[in-house]
Amino acid sequence: MEATGTDEVEKIKSKFMSAWHNMKYSWVLKTKTYFSRNSPVFLLGKCYHFKSDESGELSTDGSSFDNINTEISGNVDEFRKDFISRIWLTYREEFPQIKGSALTTDCGWGCTLRTGQMLLAQGLMLHFLGRAWVWPDALDIENSDSESWTAHTVKKLTASFEASLTAEREPKILSNHHRGTLRRNCGDNEMRNEVYHRKIISWFGDSPLAAFGLHQLIEYGKKSGKIAGDWYGPAVVAHILRKAVEEARDPELQGVTVYVAQDCTVYSSDVIDRQCSFTDSEKTDTKAVIILVPVRLGGERTNTDYLEFVKGILSLEYCVGIIGGKPKQSYYFAGFQDDSLIYMDPHYCQSFVDVSIKDFPLESFHCPSPKKMSFKKMDPSCTIGFYCRTVQDFEKASEEITKVQQQPQVKVTPGIPTPGF
C-alpha cells in the first residue's frame, strides 16, 4: 500500500515536471524565427537563397510572403519542406517504465540523448532515403498557432491531476493538429520511401524493444556509469550510439556502422577497416559509416575563432549535424545563416506514441519551425557527425573536411594512430 502511494506521488511529480518544462520552453517554440533575405541559409549541406532587391527579414512559417516574389517564396517553401522532413525527437511522457527506475518520462534530463537520436536518425535517412528526399506531407503540418503549447500543457496538467485524484487513467486530450493518415495514389518509389520513413522513426520509439529508443540507450549508458535521470554529455552519447548500432539486430541495419573519433582524431585505416569488416565472408559491398567526432571548441566558452570551421562543416553534404547546445541545454544543430546556428529543440514534452501500431501518427516527429541561436552562445562541448556510404565517400569527405578546417580540432590520419586528418 505504501509502495503504491509512493508510485502515485512519483507519477504526479513527473506530470508536474513535464508541464513545468513545457511552460518553460513554450515561448521558444512559439517565437517566430526570422531569416535575412540577403544571406544564404545552409541546412545539412544544402544551400538556400532568399535573396531579393529589398533588405530585411522574413519568417519561414509562411506568414510573411506578401511582398516576396514567387521565386523567393518557392525557395522558402523548399527550405521549410527540407527542414520539416528531418526527424524531430523530443522529451516524451507516459512511455513504458524504464528498467531499474520508476521513470516514465525523460523530461528534464534526456535532451542530449534526444539530440543524439536526431543526429543518428539523419544518418539513417541519408542511408535509406538519400539527401534529396522530403516528406510529402511536410507543408501540411500545422504550426500550432490555433492553440498555444502552453495552453495545451495547462489542459494536460489539469486533466492529469483530476485523474490522479479520482484514481482514473489519465484522460487523453486531442490536439488540434492530429489528423488521420492521408491516403494518396503514389508510385512504388514513394511507397518504399514512406515505409523507410516510418521504419526509421520506429527504431527510435520509446519502448524497450526499439533499437535506438531511450530504453536501449540508457542500458548502453550504464557502462559509462550513467543511469536513467542523469544528464548525458555529447561525448558519452557518441559512444552510446556506437554501441546501439553495433548491437542492433534488424537485418536492415547490418549495412551501417559507427566510428567514434579518438582525441578529436579520425584514423583513416580504422574507419576503412570498419567499413570493410564483415562476419559474412560472401559479402562484397562495404558498410556505410557514421563518423562521430566529440570535440571541445574552447575553454569555458566557445572560442569564436571556430565559427568559420563550424559553418564549413555544416556546409558539407556529408555532415549529419552536431550534438551541441547551450550550457545544460542540448540542441541538434543542423545549419546556419550568417553567425547564427539553426537547430531543433528537444525540450518540449510530448505524449508517448506507440510506433508499433500501423499508420501511427507522424506529426509529432517533425518540427514545424526552425530556431536560430547566436554561435557565441554555443557550449564548447559537442559531437560532430558525418555519413559516408562508401570508402570513396569517406576519402572525399576527408578531403573536404581538410579544406574547411580552420583549427586543428578534427584530424584524419591515413595510417597508424598518429595525430593528423
Residues that are catalytic: 111, 345, 347
CA distances from 185 to 80, 118, 134, 182, 191 (A): 24, 30, 17, 10, 9
**Grid coordinates representing 99?**
528498467
What span, in angstroms and rounded, lies between the C-alpha atoms of 51 and 41? 10
**Grid coordinates representing 242?**
556506437
Cα angle 179, 18, 325 (rounded to 5 degrees) comes to 90
- Residue corresponding to grid cell 547490418: 254
What span, in angstroms and rounded, lies between the C-alpha atoms of 137 and 23? 28
What residues form DSSP beta bridges with 256? 288
